[in-house]
């Protein structure tokens, strides 16, 4: 690039010299030659200077590369030396570890030989501590004597021979556990409430079986998200008799003898109380069919009771009318007697027809609604059977989709099947009984009407009006 520019200058200078040659040829030629020589020297000097600079720069770069190569080589050699030293140290440590393991094995064998029978004592103590700790950890007695499990855990996990103090603690805790199982105690303890907060309250404990506070039963179990056990109120308390027994034990003083309730399964039975469905929950398991059965049963029972009561009252009114000669419109027999008095004919057959007509008018009033009660009594078991079929269909669908690995998946359909069957039978039995009682009362009233009508006809025939 530089050479091109200098050559361009030289060419311009040459053109200028040629243009001036017509006026002064000799002078112009000399000037042209001098200018051309100076320009080439400059170019030559520039080229030489540039080559010298480039050469110096290349030498400097080569020197730097060589220095860096030597430095990297030194670092590599140093790293290799460190690796070799580390391998040698590792080999030495492996040898030391092998020697130490041999020494440990020798000492263990010597320790086992010197321990002798104490080794069996050590195993028995550790096993007893572990078993007792598993019992103490979940026992209600630990709510009165907290911290006992720490000593047992240390003894069960130790690798040394148990000390005399540890053996004594094991013996004392074992005796304490046995003695407290036969005692009823009242003490202050921390109770975890439903909102997760803890509160101090007076707790009454009957051995390891049950504990209660303020007449409510407590359970001793792990807190959610924690390995610690704590007293908690049962989410659902037992029936009134058992709860009242807890209150009686709490209020007992001195040597008073009171009857209480215990859970011999150490909390399992009380825990099942929470899982046992209530009556409403059982009804909900019957779903739509179960509710239809209950509605039909309620309507039928109310209708049956109403008919039974009204027919019983009607029967009483009819019996009262039998003892009176004056007829009354308030009872069926009175209306039949009024129909006889309003008869203008003396013909016995006409009178009989009139009385039969009056009785026929009263019978529908007496038997009205009884057929509906009978139909509902027959329909309730059929609805229960329908619910059973639907529940079994749902059960088989669950088995088809999820298999039989989880029984809870099938529990919903089976519960629906059984609950609807039970509800159907529960509804049918009282409906049948009410229908029988009401129908019997109706027949007794109808029989009295027919008897009295027959008597009236007989008296009419004997009176000679025929």
So what's the pLDDT on residue 141?
87
Residue 107 in any domain: the answer is no
362 with 230, same domain: the answer is: no
Query: What is the average pLDDT across 185-209?
Result: 84
User: Reduced to 3 states, what is the DSSP secondary structure of residue 332?
Assistant: helix
298 with 444, same domain: the answer is: yes
Domain range for residue 154?
A: 118-182
Residue 393 in any domain: the answer is yes
Region of poorest pLDDT, from 5-9, 95-99, 129-133, 451-455 = 5-9
Cβ–Cβ < 8 Å for 304, 431: yes
Query: What is the average pLDDT across 42-57?
Result: 85
Cβ–Cβ < 8 Å for 156, 129: yes
Region of poorest pLDDT, from 83-92, 198-207, 323-332 = 323-332
Q: Choose the final residue of a domain: 223, 252, 275.
A: 275
Average pLDDT, the chain: 79
Q: At residue 14, does pLDDT exceed 50?
A: no
Q: At residue 17, does pLDDT exceed 50?
A: no
Residue 38 in any domain: the answer is yes
Distance CA 349, CA 355 (A): 10
299 with 374, same domain: the answer is: yes
178 with 192, same domain: the answer is: no
303 with 449, same domain: the answer is: yes
So what's the pLDDT on residue 196?
74
408 with 426, same domain: the answer is: yes
Q: Choose the final residue of a domain: 128, 157, 182.
A: 182
The residue with greater pLDDT, 58 or 432, is 432
CB within 8 A of 386, min separation 6: which ones? 289, 420
pLDDT tens figures, 367-386: 888 888 889 998 888 988 88
Residue 108 in any domain: the answer is no
Q: Choose the final residue of a domain: 215, 242, 275.
A: 275
pLDDT tens figures, 271-325: 777 777 777 777 777 788 888 898 999 999 999 898 888 888 888 888 877 777 7
430 with 327, same domain: the answer is: yes
348 with 381, same domain: the answer is: yes
335 with 454, same domain: the answer is: yes
Query: What is the average pLDDT across 235-242?
Result: 77
Domain count, the chain: 4
Distance CA 274, CA 369 (A): 43
Picking from 293, 290, 297, the residue whose alpha carbon sits closest to that of residue 417 is 290
- Half-sphere exposure of residue 121: CA atoms within 13 angstroms, side-chain side: 12
What length does the chain have? 466
């Amino acid at each position: 690039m530089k050479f091109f520019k200098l050559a361009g200058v030289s060419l311009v200078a040459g053109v200028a010299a040629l243009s001036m040659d017509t006026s002064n040829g000799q002078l112009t030629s000399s000037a042209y030659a001098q200018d051309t020589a100076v320009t080439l020297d400059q170019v030559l000097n520039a080229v030489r200077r540039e080559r010298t600079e480039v050469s110096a720069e290349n030498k400097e770069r080569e020197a730097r590369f060589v220095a860096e190569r030597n430095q990297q080589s030194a670092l590599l050699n140093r790293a290799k030396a460190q690796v070799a030293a580390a391998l040698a140290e590792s080999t030495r440590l492996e040898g030391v570890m092998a020697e130490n393991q041999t020494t440990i094995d020798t000492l263990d064998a010597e320790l086992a030989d010197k321990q002798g029978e104490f080794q069996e004592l050590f195993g028995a103590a550790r096993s007893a501590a572990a078993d007792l700790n598993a019992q103490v950890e979940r026992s209600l007695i630990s709510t009165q004597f907290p911290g006992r499990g720490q000593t047992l855990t240390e003894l069960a996990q130790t690798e040394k021979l148990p000390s005399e103090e540890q053996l004594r603690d094991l013996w004392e805790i074992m005796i304490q556990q046995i003695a407290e199982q036969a005692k009823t105690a009242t003490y202050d303890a921390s109770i975890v409430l439903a909102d997760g907060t803890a509160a101090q309250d007076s707790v009454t404990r009957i051995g390891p079986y049950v504990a209660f506070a303020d007449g409510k039963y407590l359970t001793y179990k792990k807190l959610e998200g924690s390995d610690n056990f704590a007293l908690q109120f049962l989410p659902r308390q037992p029936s009134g008799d058992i709860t009242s027994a807890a209150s009686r034990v709490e209020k007992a003083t001195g040597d008073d003898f009171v009857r209480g309730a215990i859970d011999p399964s150490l909390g399992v039975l009380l825990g099942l109380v929470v899982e046992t469905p209530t009556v409403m929950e059982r009804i909900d398991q019957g779903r739509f069919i179960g509710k239809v059965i209950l509605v039909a049963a309620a309507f039928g029972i109310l209708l049956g009771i109403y008919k039974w009561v009204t027919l019983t009252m009607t029967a009483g009114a009819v019996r009262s009318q039998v003892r009176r000669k004056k007829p009354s419109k308030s009872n069926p027999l009175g209306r039949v007697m009024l129909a006889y008095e309003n008869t203008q004919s003396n013909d016995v057959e006409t009178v009989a027809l009139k009385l039969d007509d009056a009785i026929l008018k009263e019978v529908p009033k007496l038997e009205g609604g009884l057929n509906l009660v009978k139909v509902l009594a027959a329909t309730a078991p059929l609805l229960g059977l329908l619910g059973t079929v639907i529940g079994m269909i749902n059960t088989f669908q669950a088995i088809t989709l999820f298999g039989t690995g989880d029984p809870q998946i099938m529990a919903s359909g089976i519960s629906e099947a059984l609950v609807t069957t039970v509800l159907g039978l529960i509804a049918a039995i009282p409906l049948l009984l009410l229908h029988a009682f009401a129908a019997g009362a109706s027949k007794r009233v109808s029989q009295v009407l027919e008897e009295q009508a027959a008597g009236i006809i007989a008296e009419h025939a004997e009176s000679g009006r025929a």
